[in-house]
Structure 1
Amino acid sequence: MRIQQLRYLEKIAATGSINEAAKQLFISQPSLSQAMKELEKEYQIQLLYRSKSGITLTDAGREFMNYARGVLDQVNLLDQHFGQEIVRKRVFSVSAQHYAFVVHAFVEFVKEVGGDAYQFTLRETQTENVLDDIQTLKSELGVIYINAFNKTVMMRLISDKNLTFTPLFEVQPHVFVGRDNPLTKKTHVTLADLEDYLYLSYEQGDTNSFYFSEEIQSTLPHRKQILISDRATIFNLMVGLNGYTISSGIISSELNDEKIVAIPLDVDDVITLGYLRHRKMDLSRAAQLYLKMLKAHIRGYGFEVK
């Protein structure tokens, strides 16, 4: 086993593609494939599962990658300590539903540990993609919510994908609206108050199940509705069309959310926000530090972290 083979495997796991990994590593695709075959032969295990949709790690591959990252981290420390010219970049990825507090903590994380060389990834994506990213090790951490409506389905999926869900904090649902929306005159709103307003929600792709919705009360009918794929657009439509969405209530003014107001929603429901991780993987030091910053940011908004 060579250190370079471990770096190759790490890149394949990150990109999900032999061809893309070879491009980023500046080697030929046959050379990379051969290196992986030799590694699999040496340890007599199948590390990679090849399909039409791309390359993913097998269960054995995920466990192997867990140990490999530990080895690569130690090599990186040696390179830094003894002044090698080529230093392995810090690598960390997080996937999440669309939450400003996740982005804010990520900004603080990059400022704190980025240094001169790093490759970090933040994926604001659909709910099913968050689960898949953690299962396939594209990301170490995922942030989603669970409530009474989706809990049974989501926890079964989390278990089936060999993941764990750890609660961070609980919030009462809030309605997000533009600062000039007439609803801002209310101290709280009811579902009846929202009937005449445009409902904005995040699309969930082909698996557009109610259980994957990022908004509670997703089964209710709406006369006016627009599906959106990104957080910037949903905020623009709140302001431009007097639309609303339902979320956690945390708004980050430091990330240009000053035009949005959160109003408590009068419903008998509680949102539990938490993080996902792979059951068989130990969290890297980077992931542990990000979690620490995420919790500190949540506490800064007055919430009690579990």
Structure 2
Amino acid sequence: MRIQQLEYLEKIVALGSMNEAAKALYMTQPSLSSAIKELENEMNIQILVRSKTGVRLTEEGREFMSYAQQIMDQVQLLEEKYKDTRPRKQTFSVSAQHYAFVVHAFVELINSLDVEEYQFKLRETETENILEDLSRFKSELGILYLNSFNEKVMMKLFKERELVFQPLFRAKPHVFVSNTSPLGQKELVELADLEDYPYLSYEQGERNSFYFAEEILSTLEHRKDIKVSDRATIFNLMVGVNGYTISSGVLSKKLNDDKIIAVPLNVKDEMTIGYLKHKQKELSPIAQHYLQMLEDHIQGYGFEIL
């Protein structure tokens, strides 16, 4: 086994395509495929499953990849210490549902760095994509919520993909609205109060299951229903059409102006927001640092870390 083969595998897993990885590595696709096949034969396991839509890791491949990444990290440390070469860029990736506190902690992480080069990725994305990113090692952390409605289904999916969920904090549901909305003048909002206003929620792509919704009470019918794909749009619609969405109540004043406010929703439910990691991969120091900043930010809003 050669370090170069592990570098090839790392690139394939990151891109999810043998052809795209070959282009990035300036290799021919047959040469790259041959190098991986040689590695699989030597290790006596099947690491990748190849299909028309790309490649993915087998269960054995995921376990192998977790060990391979540890080797790559150690090689990087050796090169930085003993070789007169430029170190590899600091890398980190997190996939999350649409939460302002996730972005705020990400900003603080970057501003705290003392490195010349880095390659970070923040994906505010659909719930299914979070699970896919974690299972394919495209992200180290995934941020999402569980409640009494989706927990059983989601925990089953986590187990199937060898993902571990760690709770961060619990929050009562709030409605996010414009500060000029009549809903924003209330101290407590009832479900009946929402009927005349457009309901804003994040689309979930092809797998638009109620269990994948980012908003609780996802099975309720709404006379006015608008799906969006990003947080900027949902905030604009809160102001433009007096729309509302349901979330945790945590707003970042540093990243959002005072036009959007959170009002408690009177329902017997709560959200447990936490992070996902892959069972077979230890968190990197940069991921641990990000989690600490995330916890500090959450505590700053008066929530207790679980």
The question of 1:92 aligning with 2:92 is answered: yes
CA distance in 1, matches of 2:152, 2:45: 35
Deviations 1:34-54 (CA, angstroms, capped at 9, x unpaired):
221221122111111112221
Query: In 2, are the aligned partners of 1:251 and 1:257 still within 8 Å (CA)?
Result: no
CA contact (8 A) 1:62 1:281 kept: no
CA distance in 1, matches of 2:113, 2:3: 24
1:38 aligns with 2:38: yes
Range that drifts further, 103-112 or 161-170:
103-112
Bigger CA drift: 100-109 or 28-37?
28-37
Please name the residue that 1:61 is paired with. 61
Correspondence for 2:233? 233
- In the superposition, the TM-score normalised over structure 1's length comes to 0.95
- Using the TM superposition, give the Cα deviation of residue 119 of structure 1 relative to its aligned residue in structure 2, in angstroms: 2.1
Shift of 1:217: 1.1
- Where does residue 197 of structure 1 map in the other structure? 197
Measured at CA, do residues 29 and 87 of structure 1 come closer, stay the same or move farther in structure 2, by a change above 3 Å? Answer: farther
Whole-angstrom distance in 2 between the partners of 1:84 and 1:66: 28
Find the aligned partners of 1:114 and 1:8 in 2 and give their Cα distance: 29
Counterpart in 1 of 2:181? 181
- Call closer, same or farther: CA 1:113–1:71 in 2, change over 3 Å: farther
1:302 is aligned to 302
- Judge which range, 33-42 or 168-177, deviates more: 33-42
Per-residue Cα deviation, 1:115-134 (whole angstroms, up to 9, x for no partner): 22222221111111111221
Question: Does the 8 Å CA contact 1:175/1:249 hold for their aligned counterparts?
Answer: yes
CA drift at 1:257: 4.2
Q: Which runs of 5+ in 1 are unaligned?
A: none
Aligned equivalent of 2:258 = 258
Q: Which runs of 4+ in 1 moved over 6 A?
A: none
SS in 1 for 2:196: coil
Which residue number in structure 1 is paired with residue 221 of structure 2? 221
Rounded to whole Å, the distance in 1 between the matches of 2:26 and 2:71 is 22
Corresponding residue pairs, total: 306
Q: Is the 8 A contact 1:90 1:114 kept in 2?
A: no
CA distance in 1, matches of 2:83, 2:146: 47
| 239-248 vs 257-266, which moves further | 257-266
Q: Report how far residue 63 of structure 1 moved.
A: 1.4
**Is the CA contact 1:49–1:58 (under 8 Å) kept in the aligned structure 2?**
yes
Alignment root-mean-square deviation, CA: 1.5
Q: Secondary structure at the match of 1:149?
A: coil
Q: Could you tell me how far 1:83 is from its partner in structure 2? A: 4.6
Distance 1:189 1:138, change over 3 A: same
What is the Cα deviation at residue 246 of structure 1?
0.2
Q: Distance in 2 between matches of 1:286 and 1:246?
A: 31
**Pairwise mapping of residues 76-225 of structure 1 onto structure 2 (< 5 A)?**
76-113=76-113, 115-225=115-225
Length-normalised TM-score, structure 2 = 0.95
Distance 1:265 1:52 in 2: 47
Question: How do 1:15-30 residues align onto structure 2 when only pairs under 5 Å count?
Answer: 15-30=15-30
Whole-angstrom CA distance in 2 between matches of 1:187 and 1:21: 54
In 2, the alpha carbon distance for the partners of 1:52 and 1:247 equals 38
Query: Per-residue displacement from partner, 1:45-104 (whole Å, max 9, x unpaired)?
Result: 111111222111111221111112112112212222235324222222211111111111
Task: State how far apart, in whole Å, the 2-side matches of 1:4 and 1:114 are.
Answer: 29
The answer on 1:12 being equivalent to 2:9 is: no
Structure 2 spans left out of the alignment, 5+ residues: none
